Amino acid sequence: MSHQVDNAPPFVEVLHNVDTWLNERNLLSSLNKRKLAFATDGPWDFAKFLRMQCHLSSIDYPRWAKEWINIRKEFAKFYPVRRCGIEKMLNNLGLSFDGRRHSGIDDAINIARITLELMKDGCVLLFNDDIHASDPQFAALNEKKTEYNKNTDEENDLIVFED
């Protein structure tokens, strides 16, 4: 795993490659705006981690990541159950977690599995989360800040910003 991380291309290059891939498939044109939606487990990947890395890399935050489908929110609304993480959502669907926990690729595959089950059960997925520039939770990227995210039920949903 560390070999993979150590030999990975720089973030700016990877983000450029993602933009190129999306553009080559005409997924970013303003006319086709709704052809693309990212599904996440909570707001953290886009609203915290991607935003902070763009800030640290002195690049603009990608417009395609300014709104997304928060599967954690949608799952709790559709089924109706308490908000929970990937593993509990899968268990509620009668599925087991595939792969290593907290592995980006394995989490993405499991989020996709949850998304497919939601759609099979008739859930219409729409954007339900976005970047709020004025949101104090994400405003101070360089200040050390800790707060509990009251919108979830998980004990590990503590958000910590450090410089």
State the DSSP code for 76. H
Among 66-75, 80-89, 147-156, the range scoring the smallest mean pLDDT is 147-156
Q: What share of the chain is helix, strand, coil (3-state, %, to 5)?
A: 45, 10, 45
For the chain, domains (ranges, CATH) are 37-132 (3.30.420.10)
Q: 160 pLDDT exceeds 60?
A: no
Alpha-carbon dihedral angle through residues 148, 149, 155, 159, given to the nearest 10 degrees: -70
**pLDDT tens by residue, 111-144:** 999 999 999 999 999 999 998 754 555 554 434 3
Distance CA 1, CA 113 (A): 24
Distance CA 46, CA 70 (A): 10
**pLDDT tens by residue, 42-60:** 999 999 999 999 999 999 9
Q: 15 pLDDT exceeds 80?
A: yes
